[in-house]
Structure 1
């Protein structure tokens, strides 16, 4: 497969923040006497069972940034499951929106809170809250889990600002960090049984955050009995994995999966293969070796392992949730089909041109060939592959080989698994399917690519990583803002009621109603159904290359 230069990062040194006494690091929100608070902070101060928290006034909202939901995953906690955050004395001034879990910065695709080239502070398990000021209680709660291939991303990106969602939906909005890369998603049980399960520690971080939210969100005015979890890309894969854990209803009551389902969670065999590859490439042979490494050294070894992986697909599936049989009991589609997520209302969807996103980092993506596609094409469908290719070509006269391959990958990885998951869950709760079709109408545009819906559903209209997006906003702001308003309304209405609106019917296999998001949102029954049906012979288990 092609290699994406976006992930090639030379190792860089950076100074980490020094741990201060207690549970906070230099520069983060720290306990303070109530007398030291400003008037705006006093107006946004709440009391929880772990301590008082002072937020910041932002219009009609209170914002709380940098609340620890778990103990720092440092020292003895490194590579361990998240531990409870300690209580604090005094009042925590929650105004620190700088936390980013360790990663090499990729500002072309992420919207970082600073211009650092590398982030090295492992004390990063913090969340942010946006809450309307009025004294109302039992507001719906919207929790967002960011994407980034379990390598990039953070809760403090400006494009994930929760102000519009909180205001429009009269809701409590939460964003959260979780450990990335080798620190959160490498299975170390083979080196030491005490570390068994470490390959899903990033998922455990997210579960710990959702548990903290359930325990404390009422203090912010939220309803712990009405939590909607939203994830995009890796965040959606993670939420899908949670649907395969025992009693996911304990964590959230509704879910919105944007461009990601359990199909791209990894199988146990792929996790084992990736772990073996990491050890072989880096020369790591013991837990002691890993624990002795600095954060910068770990990131360097991580990059070395990613460089040795099988191109873009290998990188995209190297880290992330996997079916371990203990936490994630079985592939998501299997567990959902059995009713494991009973009662959890669902919105799931994809973007029309997801994988053209990567062409901004490597133009060769647009020229991908059928032989290159063989790396991930399901072997169970090999005998009918020629007929499938012919069908996709017939529906796209004049399309290039690259266009056909990208359309097939889009259906295999995103669109068809979304319809399959919605159909399975429709027996046990309300399910809705969408396709996002908006694309910039200018020369820079790559189409309705991966992440293109994010500026719209958050209402921030920040087009980081979307070529031509900023130019489209400048030339067509009125229509873009109107589409965003409709999507924000649908997402928040769903969070409040479980129904995104009367114009959007539930998904049934008899009709396959799909909301097409564009300047004039329209429901279409069974869009491109002939192509969808070509995949009927594939079960969409957890991903394992060449199976």
Structure 2
């Protein structure tokens, strides 16, 4: 029995390919064929790159909702890995959604037994949305540029992957708060066991991810189950300092149960509730933050996650893992720059925009404005809004992680993207998502399309490839990149002409360091 929902219309061709190339090595023009630990699979060639889409690494979760993932049942007939697998159900317009969503994709120069570095990308979208099947993450050109094996992955999200119901619903929900993370662990185990057959090196697996993908990576660095499954990491505008505490998680679980029309006594009905009703329940008002829908985050459950990812220090279990930590200079322009209410601000109207749901820390707007008018006397109110929200809520976690790694004696390489992109309304800045490191190798255009954009993208992509290959991001296209230390706070500024800087925006960093920080949503 094959554990794929796609029809094997080409099973005869696939079987012939497997018979002709039993070792997984393919000839020119033939379908690339690989035997995995679960069963044989057939991919396609895209010029000089072999592509395998929709490889199943886990069983259908729809039949085992809120339970840890398990490996798929093995199959014997060759499965066609021609199309992306389904994404986790989610609010929004992500295509092809299903609870049967534990799939990954592989791009490789050749299934030839070579031991190439492996670059596994974890998608953004917080812990709620997205998939590894987005056209942005097509790995063809990255695999070709770096002679690396590229992997992207889908896993459970939102209420299905991070709904904290253990203390409310009891048996059968014990791991519900971290299922998305456990899915990623299972995917990494699949890579460990199978990637050599795709031309990759299981001893050189680098994780990289942007936004929520970076946060998931930071969480994996603190998870015992992930030990030994990856060997380098790069986080782009995505950090996880604290996890959601068990009682905050329980409050959110109760809010969703009530929004679904259930009670703690009937909470087990979540196991069979229609998916649309589940997703609607996740739109309940967040009882912890007091605004917006449920904010999903990994849970300090004492089972798969026994400590906060980067609090009170960097996790010792991942101290040996080389790490890149990065952010963009105007992160929050992506969230606020298109809002007409945030354009043309005056010093009189700015305080009303610096609300708790915007700043995400407990600080008076008047204190923020006074501080910035002293630090940045030439800035406009619009610049202060973006600068303060970036430094106070987005960049802050990156600084904390870099500091804790430095204290640990295993410092990270830190970067800031300065090269600006342009929003639809014409506002320019280095906004959130502009630092996705393989933009030079994707099929869609860069968000920053001015002179030098391709050079910046190439320099970033080559740094990530170097980290995957050598455990060090330095390469000939960059000035010498030194790790982050507490004395100088060394930071690579990626721009048309990239350069090293000591403690960029140090005045803003020191200003917000006076305010206690707990990661928003936790």
Structure 1 runs not aligned, ≥5 long: 1-20, 107-111
Other-structure match for 2:231: 253
Evaluate the alpha carbon distance shift between residue 388 and residue 487 of structure 1 in structure 2; reply closer, same or farther with a 3 A threshold.
same
Please point out which of 192, 215, 219 is paired with 1:241: 219
Residue pair 2:36, 2:194 contacting (<8 A) in 1 also = yes
Match of 2:501 among 524, 534, 543: 524
Choose from 358, 362, 370 the match for 1:390: 370
Q: Quickly say closer, same or farther: Cα 1:537–1:307, change in 2 above 3 A.
A: closer
Checking the alignment, whether the CA contact within 8 Å between 1:267 and 1:544 is kept in structure 2 is no
* In 1: Cα distance, 2:201 partner to 2:313 partner: 25
1:374 aligned partner: 356
The question of whether the paired residues in 2 share the 8 Å contact of 1:247 and 1:341 is answered with no
CA distance in 1, matches of 2:182, 2:440: 25
**Which residue of 1 is the match for residue 169 of structure 2?**
191
1:407/1:270 Cα in 2 relative to 1: closer, same or farther (>3 Å)? Answer: farther
**3-state SS of 1:141 partner:** strand
Task: Flag the structure with more relative contact order, 1 or 2, with Cα contacts below 8 A and sequence separation at least 6.
Answer: 1
1:18 maps to what in 2? none
Range that drifts further, 254-263 or 186-195: 186-195
Aligned residue in 2 for 1:15: none
User: 232, 238, 248: which one pairs with 1:270?
Assistant: 248
- Which structure has the highest helix share of the two? 1
> How many Å apart are 1:161 and its aligned residue?
1.0
Report the RMSD for the aligned CA atoms in angstroms: 3.1
SS in 2 for 1:250: coil
Tell me how far 1:36 sits from its aligned partner: 7.1
Please, which of 263, 282, 288 is the counterpart of residue 302 of structure 1?
Answer: 282
CA displacement at 1:246 relative to structure 2: 2.2
Q: Deviations over 1:413-472 (max 9, x none)?
A: 332321221232233435111111222358523521111122754622635xx9xx3xx5
2:31–2:45 Cα contact (<8 Å) kept: yes
Q: Identify the residue that residue 486 of structure 2 maps to in structure 1.
A: 509
Q: Give SS of 1:86's match.
A: coil
For normalisation by structure 2, the TM-score amounts to: 0.86
| Alignment match, 1:95 | 82
Change in CA separation of 1:28 and 1:512 when aligned onto 2, cut-off 3 Å? farther
Correspondent of 1:283 among 227, 246, 261? 261
1:26-65: CA deviations, max 9, x gaps? 4589966512789778441122222222111112211110
Which stretch has the larger CA shift, 181-190 or 270-279? Answer: 270-279
Partner of 1:176: 153
| Alignment partners' CA distance in 2, 1:256 and 1:531 | 24
Gaps of 5+ in 2: 19-25
Which of 133, 144, 149 pairs up with 2:121?
Answer: 144
Aligned CA distance change for structure 1 residues 28 and 271 (closer, same or farther; 3 Å): farther
For 1:43 and 1:28, the matched residues in 2 are separated by 14
Q: CA deviation at 1:371?
A: 7.2
2:420–2:429 Cα contact (<8 Å) kept:
yes
Which one of 197, 205, 209 corresponds to residue 231 of structure 1?
A: 209
On the 8 A contact 1:243/1:335 being kept in 2, the answer is no
Cα separation, partners in 2 of 1:360 and 1:302, compared to 1, 3 Å: farther
* CA distance, structure 1, for counterparts of residue 249 and residue 232 of structure 2: 28
2:392 aligned with 1:412: yes
**Partners in 1 of 2:282 and 2:360 — Cα distance?**
28
Comparing 329-338 with 521-530, which one deviates more in the overlay? 329-338
Task: State the alpha-carbon separation in 2 of the partners of residues 244 and 208 from structure 1.
Answer: 16
CA distance in 2, matches of 1:207, 1:434: 27
Higher deviation after alignment, 446-455 or 331-340: 331-340
Is 1:496 paired with 2:496? no
C-alpha change, 1:26 and 1:461, in structure 2 (3 Å) is closer
Residue 80 of structure 1 is matched in structure 2 by 67
The residue number in structure 2 matching 1:163 is 140
Question: Which stretch of the first structure deviates more once superposed, 129-138 or 147-156?
Answer: 129-138
1:326-370 CA distances to partner (integer Å, 9 max, x unpaired)? 222222223653523220111011111111212366443556746
The structure-2 alpha-carbon separation of the partners of 1:336 and 1:345, relative to structure 1 and needing over 3 Å to count, comes to farther
Once the two structures are TM-superposed, the CA of residue 102 in structure 1 deviates from its matched residue by: 1.2
- Length, aligned pairs only: 500
Q: Could you tell me which residue of structure 2 aligns to residue 203 of structure 1?
A: 181
**1:129–1:428 Cα change, 3 Å:** farther
CA distance in 2 between counterparts of 1:395 and 1:162 reads 43
